[in-house]
Amino acid sequence: MSWDGQEDAESEVAWREEVLREWRVPTGWEEQMWSEDGIKYVKDSRLVRLNVQESVFGPYRQRFTRLETDAQWTPLLYLYVYPSAVDSSRRYLLERAEEPHRTRIRWDRDEKPQARDTTTWHAPRTPFREFFALPEPLPGLTECHVDWTSAPDRYMITQNHRPAAAWLRCFRFFAYTATKSRAPASPESAERGLEARGTRGTPKKKKGTTSSCGRGRRARR
């Protein structure tokens, strides 16, 4: 008795071996990225981290900076963008306004991301005032939207496909994203921490008392 699918299985194995035998590593594969309009090549470039932070105090606003968080700002997103131009990239400018402090991001060819913006914006106090990102999707990039609201004029970066209530969508760009987490403690330090927590703060038994079912009773004489 023979298995009906044995011949098909053997032909599939032979086909796979033939494909693997003929396969060659493409030239410049480390720089090759595919998009919907064909093959594009992005030269190797160093990335910088752009921190997107939320204000602890109202009104809701965001800050786009290289600075770390402090008592007034909490982390929201970590984006990796280009510090200099690459093929097909756009230049984006960062600006600030005060009372309350907030940040605006705009394409360098647009004077205003939103026509209804009436705030006077200034250059950031830090040296990081611009970055480059791609306006169209490529593998590995995340779509980031820039939204605006008024009273006061504020901008936010979000990955939601629709803007929140009372916010208007301005434009989008694509960047690499990352999650920042704290490295776990070593087993030895974790064990020492458990021992310390187990001994520290343990209430001392009163003299002449004992414990029974979790309730203290006076010892009989």
Q: Give the model's pLDDT for residue 181.
A: 59
Q: What value does the mean pLDDT of the chain take?
A: 78
Higher pLDDT, 21 or 156: 156
Integer Cα distance of 199 and 191 in angstroms: 12
Choose the weakest-confidence range: 28-37, 110-119, 176-185, 211-220: 211-220
Q: Is the pTM of this model over 0.85?
A: no
Q: 120: which DSSP letter?
A: -
DSSP string computed for 4-48: TTHHHHHHHHHHHHHHHHH--PPTTGGGEEEETTEEEE------E
Question: Is residue 168 pLDDT above 90, yes or no?
Answer: yes
Characterize the bridge pairing of strands 73-81 and 48-55.
antiparallel
Average pLDDT over residues 89-117: 94
Q: Give the model's pLDDT for residue 59.
A: 95
User: Is 75 within 8 Å of 180 (Cβ atoms)?
Assistant: yes
- In terms of C-beta density within 10 A (0-12 exposed, 13-18 middle, 19 or more buried), how is residue 197 classed? exposed
Q: Give the model's pLDDT for residue 178.
A: 84
Measured from the Cβ of residue 27, the count of other Cβ atoms closer than 10 Å reads 7
Average pLDDT over residues 43-58: 87
Output the 3-class SS for 130-157.
EEEEECCCCCCCEEEEEEEECCCCEEEE
SS3 state of residue 179? coil
